[in-house]
Amino acid sequence: MDPIIFFIVLTSLYGVMYFFDRFFKSCMHYPYDAFLRNTGLSVNFMTLHWHSNASAFNRMLIRWGATAGNSCTRSFLVKSFNMGVLLSFLLLPIGIILLIITIFNGSETGTSGGAAAATSTVQLEILLPGVNLPLQEIGYYIATLVMCTVLHELGHALAAVLEDVPVTGFGFKLYFCLPLAYTELSHDHLNGLRWIRKLRILCAGIWNNFVLACVCYMLISTLDMTMSPFYVCNEHVIVTELMAKSPLRGERGLKPENVITQLNDCPISSEDSWLSCLQQAQQLRLGYCISSDFIRLNDESIDIGHHNADGRLQCCDERNPNVSCFEYIEDVSVDAPAEIPQHVCLPMRRTLEDSSGYCKAGTCTEGYCLRPMLPNTTSILIFKRQTRERQPLAPVMYVGHVRDVVRTVRVSGFVPRYKHISSAWPDALSLLLRYNVVFSIGLALINAIPCFGFDGAHITSTVIHSFLVGRVEEHPKRDLISLIITSVGSLLFGLALLKVAWLSLLRPLL
């Protein structure tokens, strides 16, 4: 779905729900109100809220807790959540250091596409669809946020059940297209726990996000192997999409489902090699081995060479778009004089089709090495292709800008083995897994920082009240210390957020 259409449809749905919510509350107050209470739903302006008072949800968690009551399972879970506590303490200094670097780093050269660079290798970014993420990927963005936040809150809930703390509620809020989940626990039971048991619950969400990131990373690393029964991986690439404005569309151009095996003299085995070959084609100007007979029969050089508007020597009639000026590259290993002029005018397509190979230093086993004289930003791309059944197809020749190919041609390294399988499926799965890795690590790192509204504030308070009891006996003083630390963390987070927002959102608009 087009992103603009997506926003229009979503806004319309919210408008319809809000209208009927107001209408039913005014005309059918009691039946509609009973429906909302039974389902836990509530509708506000551009917001949808679902809340469970933990009746059915708690029964499910209690049932899970009963099944996990045996010693082996409980021991494993306790050790797992202990690792979450350790991980949270390790992430805390990392998060603080990144915030300080982001705030005080004066270099802005690393900002690209809405990113604020912390160092040359580490960058903090606000990831927003349409700003530094493709707007077409908003579905992955929302789905990832739902998975990460729900799993984060389930971590708190499951750890609470393990420590015999009642879960009083579980909810989900959708602010337009931004999903948020939350868990409500019994504060009296939670505050009555020993510090290590309380920290297990508070750090369980961070641990769950970290585990999710690790699992998704392992799935990405083994995706080629798991997909091998259905796809041919790391052999060639297949064209999955051609944009409407792609210069390679047309009867003689590329088609979806074409398998590209080679670009110029560069073999293609994966998406990385596809980009590498395109970059090589842009930087390296190849020559073509052309026979002397072809040159003699097809040379259309004008009598006097001259320089055109951009400074290039022109030996062809500018009114003929099908011809191009070629420069002879001398073979330094041969002392004999060449039998052809330094510059010849030849038909572009026929010359490339008749060439016997590529040459870089003027060396050809047959014929002469000729290099087309093109503008600096223009390259010649010859795509060798075949069908999914490995039947060879005619090569596609393109003269133009490499960046247009990168922007308008989508390829995949997963070539289907069967007709009814699409290459889009593993690509979509890989993209979703990558989103989950980035968002899960980011959510774990943010929640480890002592900042209001995050788990780090509760973790800081628990540590202060547990380890400073002997030195600071008054409870209000410990609260003050916790408040100061959380306020400093919140200030650092706010300043970093403002700087990143300025560099990524506001400054480009000015």
Report yes or no: 263 and 279 within 8 Å, Cβ to Cβ.
no
Burial 367-381 (b: 16+ CB within 10 A, else e): bbbbbbbbeeeebbb
Domain spans of the chain, in order of start = 3-34, 46-222+431-509, 233-416
pTM for this predicted structure: 0.78
The first and second tokens of residue 275, run together, are 């980009």
Measured distance CA(285)–CA(374) in Å, rounded: 9
Mean pLDDT, the chain cut into blocks of 10 residues (510 residues total): 70 88 79 82 86 66 61 82 94 91 66 38 62 76 90 90 84 80 85 91 95 95 91 90 88 90 91 91 87 87 64 77 85 61 87 86 80 84 90 90 90 89 89 94 93 91 87 87 93 88 64
Report yes or no: 443 and 149 within 8 Å, Cβ to Cβ.
yes
Beta strand pairing status for 123-125 and 167-175? Answer: unpaired
Burial 145-160 (b: 16+ CB within 10 A, else e): bebbbbbbbbbbbbbb
User: For position 121, what pLDDT does the model report?
Assistant: 43
Neighbours of 319 (CB within 10 A): 6
Report yes or no: 291 and 367 within 8 Å, Cβ to Cβ.
yes
Report yes or no: 377 and 359 within 8 Å, Cβ to Cβ.
no
User: For position 44, what pLDDT does the model report?
Assistant: 86
User: For position 120, what pLDDT does the model report?
Assistant: 44
First to last CA, the chain: 31
DSSP structure string for 449-482? S--TTSHHHHHHHHHHHHHSTTT---HHHHHHHH
Helix or strand or coil: residue 109? coil
* Residue 215: alpha-carbon gap to chain centroid: 17
Residue type, 484: I
User: For position 486, what pLDDT does the model report?
Assistant: 94
